Structure 1
Amino acid sequence: MTTMMNFAEMPDANGFFGDYGGQLVPPHLKQAMDDIAEAYEQIVQRQDFQDELKHLFQDYVGRPSPIFHAKRLSEQLGGAQIHLKREDLNHTGAHKINHCLGEALLAKFMGKTKVIAETGAGQHGVALATACALVGIPCEIHMGQVDIEKEHPNVTKMRILGCKLVPVTFGQATLKEAVDSAFVEYLKDPTNYLYAIGSVVGPHPFPKMVRDFQSIVGREAREQFQTRHGKLPDYVAACVGGGSNAMGIFSAFLPDAAVKLVGVEPAGEGVDQPGKHAATLSVGKPGAIHGMKCYVLENADGSPAAVHSIASGLDYPGVGPQHSYLKDLGRVDYQAVDDKACLHAFMTLSRVEGIIPALESAHAVAWAMGIAPQLDKGVNILVNLSGRGDKDADYVAKKLGL
């Protein structure tokens, strides 16, 4: 019998997960956030909304996504069995479509005239542009110039889908700056615009809302694994940048004490090199960024530190407040994997199982590949393969000289 752990409903009424979260925003923006929170609570109680979302998940996204037993990879490594929750098979190629559909329907429900968002690797941008095209709402995506050059296939898709793409050229010109730029645009008219945050970050209600939409991943995975194996997995692992795919799959397993949860952060070129990694939970400290309290990588003056990851979707100096809380509780073990190990996992999964993973997801695969040989063959590791690597293929081929 699996031991169940007790978790209070999170977040509380003020949007806090323990000491983390909240709404660190000016008064006029707090009202806008409260309006979104109220509309969200209204819409999720409506049967027509739930029916429409269920229909879109099934017939548009292609859910449920399957769980694949990576037998050849497991045999090659020896030890534990590796299983993949195939979010890469979703329409648009990643888990992001799960919450983007919810956010687009919410924007329609609230009568918003434009949806604004940031994107790093471009998966959130593609998914949101897709969802907005589906419901008929204008979409504007802010993306760092560095990421635009690196993730060109997703940039092309966003433009085909009809969104307005805004290049961000200041600072490091990556994900943090894209968030800053999108937020500036949103502040011009928070009454008529919706800022559709792309992860479990930002002011309340976004960490809760995005987690709730992504929780379908965990609910499916828990039921699928039990049905096939008659038990729960021993480990559930997922990459963590902001942390949406990880919270999505972790949420269903949080009460199960016997299931070890592992969040895998980007160690980049080494966690001992400031500015060369984005391992926020591994070496950061409690602080505040983008309207929330969470773990943050900071400079000596308290400003957000420069970050790096080979995976554009993970190079963020903050992290979701619920992840910060789960770290302090010790419920999730946060590890870090460097660029080299990520690339090795990317190529290995591609050539051993014929699955090209997103560089973000390859971090979690790399962690599983590292620990599997140390474990018994009866141990099961479930990895959330959060996205596919179409967007990364040219970049990796060039980097490795393929």
Structure 2
Amino acid sequence: MIKEEQSKSFHPDNHGFYGPFGGAYIPEMLIPNIENLRNNYLKIINSESFKKEFKALLEDYAGRPTPLYYASKLSEQYDCNLWLKREDLTHTGSHKINNTIGQILLAREMGKKRIIAETGAGQHGVATATVCALAGLKCIVYMGETDIERQAPNVARMKMLGAEVRTAMSGSRTLKDATNEAIRDWIANPLDTYYLIGSVVGPHPYPDLVARLQSIISEETKQQFRDKTDKEFPDYVVACVGGGSNAAGSFYHFLDHPQVKLIGAEAAGLGLSSGQTAATIALGETGVIHGSMTYLMQTDDGQITEPYSISAGLDYPGIGPLHAWLSKSGRARYLSVTDQEALDAALLLTRQEGIIPALESAHAVAAINQLDLNPQDNLVVTISGRGDKDMNTYMNRLNLL
């Protein structure tokens, strides 16, 4: 049974549970690693030395704060006041750098010398390789064969930065399978290795750790919106959701303010009934994936269903436990967006505002069409990444050749 005080909270309890979701369902060999991290992460990230270095790197290295841009043409298109939080303008081109800077400082403080990571779209892999180069640490990134083929520019960037990219060949050869391989590596190398997880997934304390590091997005948004509008809060905050890190960061400082409507956009792929989708909130049931209890897409006998999305970063059969709880509690609403709707939204944003978004971010823009908006509404949409990595897909699907 969910405790009454927990049912009112959108932050994890001491065991890492958001309502019934979360926890740490891990192999025995990983318990010492997770316990070490759990016992130290808050002490380290709340220390004055960490906060000072983290803030300096976010500003001087990553390029924060990112702008909150009023999109006048899209505002007219959607008949509302539309603001874009420009995470695509950070160093490496996405929000992922916020989390990797924080975690590399944490790994260094814990004495780890070898960093492993998983990646789908490649943005987390690039961000991890970047901070490993900065810190002088060995970097190994696991990536599915399918994603390696469709995200070749990011693979090249990782290798140029000195990372070793290891191919995941099992299953659908996408993000889920890369995560499986990273966890196997961590089991085999528990002493010197730090697993730098890229989203609000995995065993506690990773969902909370990543959400805290990404919360800089909503921290800036809140202040920037006040400065630009003299209003306390926007009416809506919208972000795409795969595992859910950019959405967690975008929502974080608005979680306890119910007047702000929180909207997540997940990948419907070819449609909810097509069998080729990654819409976990719409289709998933409770189960355990990669160390936490959450919603995941699975068969009647509990086998994980292979996900599909045109967007490599949303191609995941689960969801972070925070988002599972936000959905179940009714605090956030999650909308399903098809490949074609995302492509149409990407082209609209590009031609109306001169901003080419990542395919992940295009799902968030497309979700606006499903909202019942008033002309006075203020809507913030997080553009989580830039579209450079997706140009091959755009060229092929939008007939740009």
TM interval, short-chain normalised: over 0.9
User: Percent identity of the aligned residues?
Assistant: 47
Q: Matched residue of 2:173: which SS? A: coil
One-letter amino acid of the structure 2 residue matched with residue 217 of structure 1 = I
2:85 paired with 1:94? no
| SS in structure 2 of the partner of residue 84 of structure 1 | strand
**In structure 2, what is the equivalent of residue 324 of structure 1?**
324
Helix, strand or coil: the match of 1:334?
strand
Distance 1:41 1:287 in 2: 27
Contact between 2:45 and 2:106, CA under 8 Å: does it hold in 1? no
Aligned to 1:191: 191
Check if 1:168 corresponds to 2:172: no
Q: Could you tell me which residue of structure 1 aligns to residue 260 of structure 2?
A: 259
* Amino acid in the other structure paired with 2:99: H
How far did residue 28 of structure 1 move? 2.8
Distance 1:9 1:278 in 2: 24
Distance 1:301 1:391, change over 3 A: same
Is the Cα–Cα contact under 8 Å of residues 239 and 382 in structure 2 kept in the other structure?
Answer: yes
- Offset of 1:47 from its aligned partner? 1.1
Shift of 1:9: 6.8
2:267 aligned with 1:269: no
Maintained 8 Å contact 2:87/2:93: yes
CA–CA distance in structure 2, aligned partners of residues 269 and 235 of structure 1: 27
User: How big is the shift at 1:400?
Assistant: 2.2
Alignment of 1:1-400 (within 5 A): 7-8=8-9, 10-75=11-76, 77-231=77-231, 232-274=233-275, 276-371=276-371, 374-400=372-398
Distance 1:375 1:326 in 2: 22
Native 8 Å contact 2:171 2:306 kept in 1: no
Indicate the SS of the match to 2:351: helix
Distance 1:183 1:294 in 2: 18
Contact 1:266-1:278 within 8 A present in 2 as well:
yes
Write the letter of the residue equivalent to 2:44: I
Q: Which runs of 4+ in 1 moved over 6 A?
A: none
Unaligned ranges ≥5, structure 2 = 1-6
Name the residue aligned to 2:4: none
- Which SS does the other structure have where 2:61 is aligned? helix
Query: 1:191: how far off?
Result: 1.6
**Whole-angstrom distance in 1 between the partners of 2:353 and 2:146:** 31
Query: Secondary structure of 1:237's partner?
Result: strand
The answer for unaligned runs of 5 or more in structure 1 is: 1-5
Secondary structure at 1:265's aligned position in 2?
A: strand
Q: 1: distance between equivalents of 2:118 and 2:54?
A: 23
* TM-fit CA distance, 1:10: 2.0
CA spacing shift, 1:243–1:53, aligned 2, 3 Å: same
Cα separation, 1, equivalents of 2:205 and 2:370: 36
Q: CA deviation at 1:212?
A: 0.4
SS of structure 2 residue aligned to 1:82: strand
| C-alpha contact 1:88 1:95 (8 A) present in aligned 2 | yes
Query: Retained in 2: the 8 A contact 1:82–1:368?
Result: no
1:303 Cα shift? 1.3
Tell me how far apart the structure 2 counterparts of residues 46 and 333 of structure 1 sit (CA, whole Å): 35
The number of residues matched between the two structures is 393
CA distance in 2, matches of 1:266, 1:115: 29
